[in-house]
Structure 1
Amino acid sequence: MTRVLGIEGTAWCASAAVFDVTGDDVRIFSDAYQPDSGGIHPREAAEHMRSAIPAVVAEAVELVESKHGAPGGAIDAIAFSRGPGLGPCLRIAATAARALAGSLDLPLVGVNHMVAHLEIGRHRSGFDAPVCLNASGANAHVLGYHDGRYRVLGETMDTGIGNAIDKFTRHVGWTHPGGPKVERRAKDGEYVALPYVVKGMDFSFSGITSAAQDAIDDGTPVEDVCRGLQETTFAMLTEVSERALSLTGADELVLGGGVGQNGRLREMLETMCAERGASFYAPEPRFLRDNAGMIAVLGAKMYEAGDTITIDESRVRPDFRPDEVPVTWRADDGSDRAPTGTEPAQTRGAEAIVDLDRDGGSAYKRRLSKAYRHPELDARLRRRRTRSEARLTSEARRVGVPTPVVFDVDPREGLLELQFVGDADLRDAISETRVRRVGEHLARCHGAGFVHGDPTPRNVRVRRGEAADDLVYLIDFGLGYHSDHVEDYAMDLHVFEGAVAGTADDPAACIGAFEDAYRAVGDERVLGRLREIETRGRYQ
């Protein structure tokens, strides 16, 4: 029987837990830091950890002694959160873990905090290969398992969702944490429109926070702004989660992170999954907020896989990204999606259902109304994206990019009739030659002054033939727009490369070929900006 004691101390919550694999029993002891005003101050949080970590660890050890005897013989390993998080807090928790492991002569397991959020959901749900939305204070990203690691399929390009909400509530004058206060006030508010920023699989919250603050300053009732803030940011998270399900072919979604305690966010995700026939799971609140239970559970899995570290290897990593973690504890469970074979007559993506008439040469696309979104927001997005898709699909053809011919469009109903092109998505037929074509096509679009907006392998069609005769089409320009900014062009490249990294068998070779082709046709400054964007993801 494996029993692991876990220690969590990444930011604001000092926590220790004991996990017994037999019986799947998790006991958690926590002491959360509560600032007198404003948000979390790193120095004050560290001061809290200095007294709170020893106390919660002592409670966990006492539990083991009372039930199982001397801890040296009753505990198999000590797990702790190595990162990401606040350096001073991480170091205090790690010091406690090292001291306890050393005194009891036990192995040490270093756990990635964000992967633990995912794995506790996977463990409690029994899902095999879920996509995970992590929505926490300092972070927001969507993860999917591929080729032995959890890949970041999409993430915030500036601040975490919890921090964005807290920044707004500090402006209003509310104390930390702000999320529960926003949730309560939003129930009495009317929806107000705020900026909606989804760029392919990524998203941004800073502009929304600023707009919400401006609305308060302009006299908009706080209840209405809270409603608009929730409806907008959570719809963005839900949309990107659905895009990740569509990209990977997964049919399971788990939610992690403290913001996941918000009932409206869980409702949106559950509604989205029900509409597309996917399963959804959100752990109970004690496993959503920062806690040592998830550290102990993942620590036990890693320990049983032989994934332990020495004291010398146990330095903390404040910028520890989840895609840096080799997933040693999972067997090859078939979660890497196999090609789908012959396409059905009807396909479903993240936004639309497409009916294929191969004999007639047409594809009939219906951009679906999303029940999880506020009706006003939903109607606005469907109209705008349908118009953009029709207009930019045609503009791309005029600059030499293979795209479907647009036969008919009805923006109000979200309908498009398009030429049927290709015989597979690039996702199911990826190769270096084909991604080179994508690089060339995007460079031509950018040279003409517009971006695709969502150039994932699901939005590239391939007509397979002899290698030299392959045709590669760009489709679904619904998130596209006109721009002359290098930043926007580089985001197109970032979205494509992130999707390739999360789905391709040899992503490095494909990404290299893609960038070489873009460089040959496009502007070198865009690739330079891409390198800069890559440093902006959380914990880069």
Structure 2
Amino acid sequence: MTCSRLRVLAIEGTAWAASAAVFETTDPTERTDDERVDIFTDAYAPDSGGIHPREAAEHMHEAIPKVVAQARETAETWAAEHDEQTQNPVDAVAFSRGPGLGPCLRIVATAARATAQRFDVPLVGVNHMVAHLEIGRHRSGFESPVCLNASGANAHILGFRNGRYRVLGETMDTGVGNAIDKFTRHLGWSHPGGPKVEQRAKEGDFLDLPYVVKGMDFSFSGIMSAAKQAVDDDEPVEDVCFALQEHIFAMLTEVSERALSLTGSGQLVLGGGVAQNARLRGMLESMCAQRGAEFYAPEPRFLRDNAGMIAVLGAKMYDAGDTLPIAESQIDSNFRPDQVPVTWREREAWTATGDNVRAGDALQGAEATVTFEDGIVTKRRLPREYRHEILDARLRRTRTRLEARLTSQARRAGVPTPVLRDVDPDEGMLVFEKVGEADLRDRLTEASVRDVAGHLATIHDAGFVHGDPTTRNVRVDGDRTYLIDFGLGYFTDDPEDYAMDLHVFDQSLTGTADDPESLIAAARESYERASADPESVLDSLAEIEGRGRYQ
């Protein structure tokens, strides 16, 4: 369906931004020198507090016709420039089908249907979050990046495998922008709160706040409560704002690095409105530079909610024949990115551009450099340049101690782990015997996955969690599997904590396996057999799985 010049009009309106755009290109599959995008946006700004759905819908109702008219006029002007003798200045109309506020989405969908019928062209329904990812991939030229989406209602790590964008990690409570807005509403500041926090943080100093990372998932509720309490306890607002940014953005950067390590990708793109924050971009850029990965963040007009990204992805989908009949163009306010069949890309697995390996026998993992010599593994948690030095020192020391203690504790419980030879928490160094021939990521079988699930049941019954049981943190040697890297583990008797271990393992299988469903089912069956209390853990797991954005 590829044509010599493709022009798509797009409409966006998932929450606060009534936006329309026109995208024109000669090749929708890649960025070209002659492509162009014009974006017209009328943003809703509440008088106080956060976004009010009814007010947002009223704004959308008034603003969408205006921005669509502007985009339509631009499309007609561009068509005239090329002397196109046609009644259709556009080849397709794309719109944000979800996720978002239902009343706003319905207004956008109605406008899109009317515009498509007016020009008698196909309709394309775009997932708003996938568009955030694709605009970064398109404009960077990256082949197979990991994507961090950091927006108001969302925060998640995405990667492409086997025809879909997989959620490798996400917030377990609220989106990053919404979390910051909850803090600023406590202070009586108007929406949006992010830019105000960024500005006040420039004058602040460090405070300790909660830091919650579980594998590649994370939580903001604890840090928000602590930040509000710190203000109520008369800590300087500037210091609290500074600490909020240092902790929240370090969490997002850390899980991004874990995703790069898990997948072997050497490319990261950033999307979402919170991505306009200079400190977040700086942290991600620093992390990527330290591990030798490439980083790209689109210009601000493509980061905040905008119809330009909808138009670019809409062109790719149209070119692939992925269009919607009017009768099937219902909106989906709970439209998750992993529900979208990615028709415009080949079903390739990961392109391991980085593959975590450096020179010689050194390997770069997700926060440590590992070297091998004569059957001995030396692991060094080197300082992460993106993190504040006080926070970084605390995490490196705490995680090194926990890894040493829990590795030995698991071994005593009967789980295969490497023998610990030496530990230096202040230097973030551990020395182990070398175990296994390969990571589980490269030796995925039902038998090995069953073993891992059984090992997790054993340590849970012993009263602690692994914390990060991904397919990179299991070593395989023949029919024997070893758990390694307990740095995110801790002692607990809470079934929800045990369930989180299983959730992290499931996500890593989804991101690295060709047939994750059968492997996840095998792991679940094995855990049920091996655990002393599987029912409470699996009930908690079902509840955790329902917390993901737009479940």
TM over 0.5: yes
Say whether residues 1:213 and 2:224 are aligned partners. no
Say whether residues 1:298 and 2:307 are aligned partners. no
Contact 1:449 1:482 in 2 (8 A): yes
Cα distance in 2 for residues equivalent to 1:535 and 1:71: 49
Say whether residues 1:115 and 2:130 are aligned partners. yes
Once the two structures are TM-superposed, the CA of residue 313 in structure 1 deviates from its matched residue by 1.0
> Of 233, 241, 246, which residue of structure 1 is paired with 2:248?
233
Cα distance in 1 for residues equivalent to 2:547 and 2:195: 28
> Of 162, 183, 200, which residue of structure 2 is paired with 1:185?
200
> Of 326, 336, 339, which residue of structure 2 is paired with 1:311?
326
Cα distance in 1 for residues equivalent to 2:267 and 2:35: 22
Partner of 1:356: 372
Once the two structures are TM-superposed, the CA of residue 334 in structure 1 deviates from its matched residue by 5.6
Say whether residues 1:398 and 2:412 are aligned partners. yes
Contact 1:339 1:428 in 2 (8 A): no
Contact 1:146 1:336 in 2 (8 A): no
Q: Normalized against structure 1, the TM-score is what?
A: 0.97
Once the two structures are TM-superposed, the CA of residue 339 in structure 1 deviates from its matched residue by 13
Once the two structures are TM-superposed, the CA of residue 131 in structure 1 deviates from its matched residue by 0.3
Once the two structures are TM-superposed, the CA of residue 64 in structure 1 deviates from its matched residue by 1.7
Once the two structures are TM-superposed, the CA of residue 341 in structure 1 deviates from its matched residue by 13
Equivalent residues in 2 for 1:53-452, closer than 5 Å: 53-69=64-80, 72-332=87-347, 335=350, 337=352, 345-357=361-373, 359=374, 361-452=375-466
Cα distance in 1 for residues equivalent to 2:463 and 2:77: 69
Listed as ranges, the gaps of 5+ residues in structure 2 are: 27-33
Q: What percent identity do the matched residue pairs reach?
A: 69
> Residue 144 of structure 2 aligns to a residue in which SS?
coil
Moved more, 500-509 or 58-67: 58-67
Partner of 1:486: 495
Superposed CA deviations along residues 131-189 of structure 1, whole A, max 9, x for unmatched, are: 00000000000001101110000000000000000000011111001000000000000
Cα distance in 2 for residues equivalent to 1:51 and 1:504: 47
Counterpart of 1:528, as a letter, is: D
Cα distance in 2 for residues equivalent to 1:341 and 1:40: 42
Partner of 1:37: 48
Once the two structures are TM-superposed, the CA of residue 67 in structure 1 deviates from its matched residue by 3.1
Note closer, same or farther for the CA distance 1:432–1:168 as it changes in structure 2 (3 Å cut). same
Note closer, same or farther for the CA distance 1:68–1:342 as it changes in structure 2 (3 Å cut). closer
> Residue 174 of structure 1 aligns to a residue in which SS?
coil
Say whether residues 1:2 and 2:6 are aligned partners. yes
Once the two structures are TM-superposed, the CA of residue 73 in structure 1 deviates from its matched residue by 1.9
Partner of 2:30: none
Note closer, same or farther for the CA distance 1:434–1:341 as it changes in structure 2 (3 Å cut). farther
Counterpart of 1:256, as a letter, is: G
Moved more, 519-528 or 213-222: 519-528
Superposed CA deviations along residues 500-523 of structure 1, whole A, max 9, x for unmatched, are: 011101101110111111000112
> Residue 501 of structure 1 aligns to a residue in which SS?
helix
Contact 1:145 1:336 in 2 (8 A): no
Say whether residues 1:529 and 2:540 are aligned partners. yes
Counterpart of 2:473, as a letter, is: N
> Residue 369 of structure 1 aligns to a residue in which SS?
coil
Cα distance in 1 for residues equivalent to 2:86 and 2:291: 48
> Residue 106 of structure 1 aligns to a residue in which SS?
coil
Partner of 1:467: none
Counterpart of 2:381, as a letter, is: R
Superposed CA deviations along residues 434-463 of structure 1, whole A, max 9, x for unmatched, are: 000000000000000000000000000000
> Residue 453 of structure 1 aligns to a residue in which SS?
coil
Partner of 1:516: 525
Listed as ranges, the gaps of 5+ residues in structure 1 are: 465-469
- Count of residue pairs brought into register by the alignment: 533
Aligned-residue Cα RMSD (Å) equals 1.5
Note closer, same or farther for the CA distance 1:160–1:106 as it changes in structure 2 (3 Å cut). same
Once the two structures are TM-superposed, the CA of residue 345 in structure 1 deviates from its matched residue by 1.7
Cα distance in 2 for residues equivalent to 1:152 and 1:496: 13
> Residue 502 of structure 1 aligns to a residue in which SS?
helix
Counterpart of 2:12, as a letter, is: E
Cα distance in 2 for residues equivalent to 1:338 and 1:378: 27
Once the two structures are TM-superposed, the CA of residue 342 in structure 1 deviates from its matched residue by 11
> Residue 370 of structure 2 aligns to a residue in which SS?
strand
Superposed CA deviations along residues 4-50 of structure 1, whole A, max 9, x for unmatched, are: 00000000000000000132100000000000000000000000000
